[in-house]
Copies of this chain bind each other. A is one copy, B any other.
Amino acid sequence: MLDSPQKYAIFANRTFNLNMMIKQYIKENEERILDELFSLIRIPSVSAQPEHHADMLRCAERWKELLLMAGVDKAEVMPSDGNPMVYAEKMVDPAAKTLLIYGHYDVMPAEPFELWKSEPFEPVVRDGHIWARGADDDKGQSFIQAKAFEYVVKNGLLKHNVKFILEGEEEIGSGSLGAFCQKHKELLKSDVILVSDTSMLSADLPSLTTGLRGLAYWQIEVTGPNHDLHSGHFGGAVANPINVLCKLIADVTGEDGRIRIPGFYDDVDEIPAEERKLVENIPFDIEKYKRSLDVEELFGEVGYNTIERTGFRPSFDVCGIWGGYTGEGSKTVIPSKAYAKISCRLVPHQDHRKISQLVIDYFNRVAPRTVKVSVQPSHGGQGYVCPIDLPAYQAAERGFEKAFGKRPLPVRRGGSIPIIAAFEEILGVKTVLMGFGLESNAIHSPNENMPLDIFRKGIEAVINFHLEYDK
Q: Is A215 an interface residue (CB 8 A)?
A: yes
A301 to B237, CA, bound (A): 8
Q: Is A117 an interface residue (CB 8 A)?
A: no
Q: A243-B253, A250-B251 are in contact. Are A226 and B293 (CB under 8 A)?
A: yes
Q: Is A104 an interface residue (CB 8 A)?
A: no
Count of identical protomers in the assembly? 2
List B contacts of A230 (CB < 8 A). 415
**Candidates B231, B300, B415; contact of A237 at CB < 8 Å:** B300
A24 to B192, CA, bound (A): 104
List B contacts of A449 (CB < 8 A). none
**Candidates B236, B318, B339; contact of A314 at CB < 8 Å:** B236
Chain A 202-230 interface 0/1 with B at a Cβ cutoff of 8 Å (1 = within): 00000000000101010100001110011
Q: A246-B250, A249-B246 are in contact. Are A414 and B331 (CB under 8 A)?
A: no
A297 to B413, CA, bound (A): 45
A414 to B231, CA, bound (A): 8
A330 x B236 contact (CB < 8 A): no
A324 to B299, CA, bound (A): 19
**Candidates B296, B299, B316, B325; contact of A319 at CB < 8 Å:** B325
List B contacts of A368 (CB < 8 A). 297, 299
Chain A 285-313 interface 0/1 with B at a Cβ cutoff of 8 Å (1 = within): 00000000111111111000010011001
Q: A296-B369, A320-B326, A322-B321 are in contact. Are A243 and B249 (CB under 8 A)?
A: yes
Q: Nearest-CB distance from A294 to chain B (Å)?
A: 4
Q: Is A67 an interface residue (CB 8 A)?
A: no
Q: Is A431 an interface residue (CB 8 A)?
A: no
A378 to B250, CA, bound (A): 26
Q: Is A350 an interface residue (CB 8 A)?
A: no
Residue of B nearest to A312 (CB): B236
Q: Is A97 an interface residue (CB 8 A)?
A: no
A313 x B378 contact (CB < 8 A): no
Chain A 140-167 interface 0/1 with B at a Cβ cutoff of 8 Å (1 = within): 0000000000000000000000000000
B235 x A414 contact (CB < 8 A): yes
List B contacts of A306 (CB < 8 A). 237
List B contacts of A331 (CB < 8 A). 319-320, 341
Instruction: Identify the 5 closest CB pairs spanning chains A and B, nearest first.
Output: A236-B315, A232-B415, A235-B315, A320-B324, A250-B250
Chain A interface (Cβ < 8 Å from any Cβ of B):
213, 215, 217, 219, 224-226, 229-240, 242-243, 245-247, 249-251, 253, 257, 293-301, 306, 309-310, 313-327, 329-335, 338-341, 343, 345, 368-371, 378-379, 413-416
